[in-house]
Protein backbone atom coordinates (compact mmCIF):
# COMPACT_ATOMS: atom_id res chain seq x y z
CA UNK A 1 0.00 0.00 0.00
CA UNK A 2 1.34 3.44 -0.97
CA UNK A 3 2.55 5.66 1.84
CA UNK A 4 0.57 8.85 2.63
CA UNK A 5 1.66 11.99 4.45
CA UNK A 6 0.29 15.47 5.16
CA UNK A 7 2.68 18.29 4.28
CA UNK A 8 2.92 22.02 3.63
CA UNK A 9 4.06 23.21 0.19
CA UNK A 10 7.11 25.42 0.73
CA UNK A 11 7.78 26.70 -2.77
CA UNK A 12 7.72 25.85 -6.47
CA UNK A 13 10.46 23.90 -8.23
CA UNK A 14 11.71 25.03 -11.63
CA UNK A 15 9.65 22.14 -13.07
CA UNK A 16 6.45 23.81 -11.82
CA UNK A 17 5.88 21.20 -9.13
CA UNK A 18 5.42 22.09 -5.49
CA UNK A 19 8.13 21.21 -2.98
CA UNK A 20 7.46 19.96 0.53
CA UNK A 21 9.12 17.64 3.03
CA UNK A 22 8.31 13.98 3.55
CA UNK A 23 8.04 12.77 7.13
CA UNK A 24 11.73 11.71 7.13
CA UNK A 25 12.94 15.04 5.75
CA UNK A 26 13.32 14.01 2.12
CA UNK A 27 12.27 16.53 -0.52
CA UNK A 28 8.84 15.73 -1.95
CA UNK A 29 7.76 16.94 -5.39
CA UNK A 30 3.99 17.30 -5.86
CA UNK A 31 2.21 18.57 -9.01
CA UNK A 32 -0.84 20.86 -9.06
CA UNK A 33 -0.29 22.49 -5.67
CA UNK A 34 0.34 26.06 -4.53
CA UNK A 35 2.90 27.48 -2.08
CA UNK A 36 1.51 27.60 1.45
CA UNK A 37 -1.10 24.89 0.92
CA UNK A 38 -1.52 21.98 3.30
CA UNK A 39 -2.11 18.82 1.29
CA UNK A 40 -2.43 15.10 1.81
CA UNK A 41 -0.03 13.34 -0.52
CA UNK A 42 0.41 9.71 -1.54
CA UNK A 43 3.84 8.56 -2.75
CA UNK A 44 4.12 7.38 -6.35
CA UNK A 45 7.91 7.11 -6.48
CA UNK A 46 10.50 6.97 -3.72
CA UNK A 47 14.26 7.35 -4.02
CA UNK A 48 17.07 7.70 -1.53
CA UNK A 49 16.88 11.50 -1.43
CA UNK A 50 13.46 12.40 -2.78
CA UNK A 51 9.83 11.38 -3.08
CA UNK A 52 7.38 12.10 -5.87
CA UNK A 53 3.80 12.35 -4.74
CA UNK A 54 0.24 12.80 -5.93
CA UNK A 55 -2.35 14.93 -4.12
CA UNK A 56 -5.04 12.94 -2.38
CA UNK A 57 -6.75 15.95 -0.81
CA UNK A 58 -6.21 19.67 -0.33
CA UNK A 59 -6.60 20.24 3.40
CA UNK A 60 -6.00 23.99 3.38
CA UNK A 61 -6.17 25.72 -0.01
CA UNK A 62 -4.23 28.84 -0.93
CA UNK A 63 -6.40 31.91 -1.62
CA UNK A 64 -5.16 31.95 -5.23
CA UNK A 65 -6.61 28.51 -6.01
CA UNK A 66 -9.50 28.46 -8.51
CA UNK A 67 -11.57 25.76 -10.16
CA UNK A 68 -9.59 24.45 -13.19
CA UNK A 69 -11.17 25.23 -16.57
CA UNK A 70 -10.33 21.75 -17.90
CA UNK A 71 -12.04 18.57 -16.64
CA UNK A 72 -8.93 16.53 -17.46
CA UNK A 73 -6.65 18.65 -15.28
CA UNK A 74 -5.03 16.61 -12.55
CA UNK A 75 -5.11 13.44 -14.64
CA UNK A 76 -3.71 14.71 -17.92
CA UNK A 77 0.02 15.39 -17.93
CA UNK A 78 -0.23 18.32 -20.32
CA UNK A 79 -0.64 21.24 -17.88
CA UNK A 80 0.63 22.08 -14.40
CA UNK A 81 -1.03 25.30 -13.24
CA UNK A 82 -4.62 25.48 -14.39
CA UNK A 83 -5.70 25.81 -10.74
CA UNK A 84 -4.59 29.49 -10.75
CA UNK A 85 -5.46 32.33 -13.12
CA UNK A 86 -3.26 33.26 -16.05
CA UNK A 87 -1.81 36.40 -14.48
CA UNK A 88 -0.46 34.37 -11.56
CA UNK A 89 0.88 31.75 -13.97
CA UNK A 90 2.76 34.48 -15.85
CA UNK A 91 4.21 35.85 -12.61
CA UNK A 92 5.38 32.39 -11.56
CA UNK A 93 7.00 31.73 -14.93
CA UNK A 94 8.74 35.09 -14.79
CA UNK A 95 10.00 34.47 -11.24
CA UNK A 96 11.27 30.97 -12.09
CA UNK A 97 13.10 32.27 -15.16
CA UNK A 98 14.59 35.14 -13.13
CA UNK A 99 15.82 32.69 -10.49
CA UNK A 100 17.41 30.45 -13.11
CA UNK A 101 19.21 33.39 -14.75
CA UNK A 102 20.51 34.70 -11.42
CA UNK A 103 21.63 31.20 -10.42
CA UNK A 104 23.81 31.14 -13.54
CA UNK A 105 25.27 34.58 -12.94
CA UNK A 106 23.10 36.67 -15.27
CA UNK A 107 21.83 40.02 -13.97
CA UNK A 108 19.34 40.82 -16.76
CA UNK A 109 15.82 41.61 -15.58
CA UNK A 110 12.99 39.55 -17.04
CA UNK A 111 10.09 41.65 -18.32
CA UNK A 112 6.43 41.06 -17.65
CA UNK A 113 4.85 38.08 -19.42
CA UNK A 114 1.49 38.31 -21.14
CA UNK A 115 -1.29 35.74 -20.68
CA UNK A 116 -1.61 33.42 -23.66
CA UNK A 117 -4.66 31.22 -23.14
CA UNK A 118 -5.46 29.00 -26.07
CA UNK A 119 -2.14 29.74 -27.74
CA UNK A 120 -0.28 26.43 -27.42
CA UNK A 121 0.74 25.83 -31.01
CA UNK A 122 2.96 22.76 -30.57
CA UNK A 123 1.59 19.59 -28.98
CA UNK A 124 2.33 15.87 -28.83
CA UNK A 125 -0.98 14.04 -29.11
CA UNK A 126 -1.70 10.34 -28.72
CA UNK A 127 -4.13 8.85 -31.28
CA UNK A 128 -5.75 5.51 -30.49
CA UNK A 129 -8.88 3.95 -31.99
CA UNK A 130 -10.45 7.24 -33.03
CA UNK A 131 -9.68 8.91 -29.70
CA UNK A 132 -7.11 11.61 -29.11
CA UNK A 133 -5.61 13.03 -25.98
CA UNK A 134 -2.50 13.30 -23.87
CA UNK A 135 -0.71 10.87 -21.60
CA UNK A 136 -1.38 10.83 -17.90
CA UNK A 137 1.45 12.23 -15.81
CA UNK A 138 4.43 9.83 -15.74
CA UNK A 139 2.35 7.16 -17.46
CA UNK A 140 1.52 5.69 -20.87
CA UNK A 141 -2.21 5.75 -20.10
CA UNK A 142 -4.24 7.80 -22.59
CA UNK A 143 -6.40 10.60 -21.19
CA UNK A 144 -9.05 11.22 -23.91
CA UNK A 145 -9.54 14.93 -24.51
CA UNK A 146 -12.71 16.29 -26.05
CA UNK A 147 -11.48 19.86 -25.77
CA UNK A 148 -8.17 21.37 -24.68
CA UNK A 149 -8.31 25.02 -23.50
CA UNK A 150 -4.53 25.35 -23.78
CA UNK A 151 -4.38 24.62 -27.52
CA UNK A 152 -4.63 27.06 -30.40
CA UNK A 153 -8.31 26.66 -31.47
CA UNK A 154 -7.45 26.12 -35.15
CA UNK A 155 -4.95 23.41 -34.24
CA UNK A 156 -7.40 21.74 -31.87
CA UNK A 157 -10.05 21.64 -34.61
CA UNK A 158 -7.70 19.85 -37.02
CA UNK A 159 -6.57 17.34 -34.37
CA UNK A 160 -10.18 16.54 -33.49
CA UNK A 161 -11.21 16.26 -37.16
CA UNK A 162 -8.35 13.86 -37.83
CA UNK A 163 -9.38 11.64 -34.92
CA UNK A 164 -12.99 11.56 -36.16
CA UNK A 165 -11.80 10.13 -39.47
CA UNK A 166 -10.56 7.10 -37.50
CA UNK A 167 -7.39 6.63 -39.58
CA UNK A 168 -5.40 3.43 -39.33
CA UNK A 169 -2.77 4.98 -37.11
CA UNK A 170 -2.02 4.34 -33.45
CA UNK A 171 0.66 6.38 -31.78
CA UNK A 172 1.98 9.85 -31.17
CA UNK A 173 1.72 12.74 -33.60
CA UNK A 174 3.62 15.99 -33.14
CA UNK A 175 1.25 18.73 -34.30
CA UNK A 176 2.34 22.30 -34.97
CA UNK A 177 0.61 25.48 -36.06
CA UNK A 178 2.65 28.51 -37.14
CA UNK A 179 1.72 32.19 -37.34
CA UNK A 180 0.38 31.71 -40.87
CA UNK A 181 -2.18 29.27 -39.50
CA UNK A 182 -0.39 26.48 -41.36
CA UNK A 183 -0.75 23.16 -39.53
CA UNK A 184 1.68 20.29 -39.95
CA UNK A 185 2.06 16.84 -38.41
CA UNK A 186 5.06 14.64 -37.69
CA UNK A 187 4.16 10.95 -37.46
CA UNK A 188 6.02 7.72 -36.99
CA UNK A 189 6.30 5.16 -39.81
CA UNK A 190 2.99 3.96 -41.25
CA UNK A 191 2.10 0.94 -43.40
CA UNK A 192 0.19 3.18 -45.81
CA UNK A 193 1.73 6.64 -45.60
CA UNK A 194 -0.23 7.93 -48.60
CA UNK A 195 -3.59 7.08 -47.04
CA UNK A 196 -2.49 8.57 -43.73
CA UNK A 197 -1.47 11.80 -45.46
CA UNK A 198 -4.82 11.92 -47.28
CA UNK A 199 -6.56 11.75 -43.89
CA UNK A 200 -4.32 14.51 -42.53
CA UNK A 201 -5.14 16.68 -45.55
CA UNK A 202 -8.86 16.04 -45.16
CA UNK A 203 -8.65 17.08 -41.52
CA UNK A 204 -6.98 20.37 -42.48
CA UNK A 205 -3.23 19.83 -42.26
CA UNK A 206 -1.10 21.34 -45.01
CA UNK A 207 1.97 19.15 -44.62
CA UNK A 208 3.37 16.15 -42.82
CA UNK A 209 6.42 14.04 -42.17
CA UNK A 210 5.53 10.35 -41.96
CA UNK A 211 8.48 8.18 -41.08
CA UNK A 212 11.20 9.39 -43.43
CA UNK A 213 8.85 10.83 -46.06
CA UNK A 214 7.75 14.46 -46.35
CA UNK A 215 4.42 15.55 -47.80
CA UNK A 216 3.16 19.03 -48.68
CA UNK A 217 4.54 21.95 -46.67
CA UNK A 218 5.62 20.75 -43.20
CA UNK A 219 8.01 23.68 -42.52
CA UNK A 220 7.37 25.94 -39.52
CA UNK A 221 7.53 29.72 -40.10
CA UNK A 222 7.47 32.56 -37.62
CA UNK A 223 8.77 36.12 -37.22
CA UNK A 224 11.11 37.51 -34.57
CA UNK A 225 11.82 41.26 -34.47
CA UNK A 226 10.58 41.59 -38.03
CA UNK A 227 12.75 38.78 -39.37
CA UNK A 228 10.93 35.78 -40.88
CA UNK A 229 12.46 32.45 -39.94
CA UNK A 230 11.76 29.05 -41.47
CA UNK A 231 12.46 25.93 -39.42
CA UNK A 232 12.60 22.37 -40.78
CA UNK A 233 9.92 19.97 -39.51
CA UNK A 234 11.96 18.22 -36.80
CA UNK A 235 13.66 21.37 -35.43
CA UNK A 236 12.79 22.52 -31.92
CA UNK A 237 11.13 25.93 -31.99
CA UNK A 238 9.29 27.88 -29.33
CA UNK A 239 8.00 31.41 -29.70
| pLDDT at residue 224 greater than cutoff 90 | no
Q: How far apart are CA 227 and CA 138, in angstroms?
A: 38
pLDDT the model gives residue 179: 85
Per the DSSP assignment, residues forming a β-bridge with 57 are: 40
Rounded mean pLDDT, 174-198: 92
pLDDT tens digits along 90-102:
998 899 899 999 9
Q: Which CATH architecture has domain 122-231?
A: Beta Barrel (2.40)
Q: How confident is the model at residue 186 (pLDDT cuts 50, 70, 90)?
A: very high
- For the chain, the structural domain boundaries read 4-60, 122-231
- How many of the other CB atoms lie within 10 Å of CB of 66? 12
Rounded mean pLDDT, 186-199: 94
Residues of the chain with pLDDT > 90, as a percent, come to: 60
Matching fold, domains 4-60 and 122-231: yes
pLDDT the model gives residue 217: 87
- How many of the other CB atoms lie within 10 Å of CB of 134? 22
| CB-CB contact of 120 with 150 (8 Å) | yes
- How many of the other CB atoms lie within 10 Å of CB of 73? 18
CATH number 2.60.40.1180 is the correct assignment for the domain at 4-60? no
pLDDT tens digits along 23-47:
999 999 999 999 999 999 999 999 9
Instruction: Tell me the whole-structure pTM to 2 decimals.
Output: 0.81
SS3 helix, strand, coil % of the chain, rounded to 5?
15, 35, 45
Q: How confident is the model at residue 239 (pLDDT cuts 50, 70, 90)?
A: low
Q: How confident is the model at residue 219 (pLDDT cuts 50, 70, 90)?
A: confident
| pLDDT at residue 153 greater than cutoff 80 | yes
Q: How far apart are CA 192 and CA 8, in angstroms?
A: 53
Q: How far apart are CA 123 and CA 30, in angstroms?
A: 23
| CB-CB contact of 171 with 162 (8 Å) | no
| pLDDT at residue 192 greater than cutoff 90 | yes
Sheet harboring 27-30: ordered strands across? 4-8, 38-46, 50-60, 27-30, 18-21, 11-12
SS3 103: helix
pLDDT the model gives residue 181: 86
Amino acid sequence: MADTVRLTVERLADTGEGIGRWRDGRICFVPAVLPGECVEVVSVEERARLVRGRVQAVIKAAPERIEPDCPAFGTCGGCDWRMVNEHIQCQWRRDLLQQQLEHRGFTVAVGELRPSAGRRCRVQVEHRDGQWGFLARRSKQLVPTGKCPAMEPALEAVVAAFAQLRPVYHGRIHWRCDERGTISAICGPADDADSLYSALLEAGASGAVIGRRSFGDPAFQYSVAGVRLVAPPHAFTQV
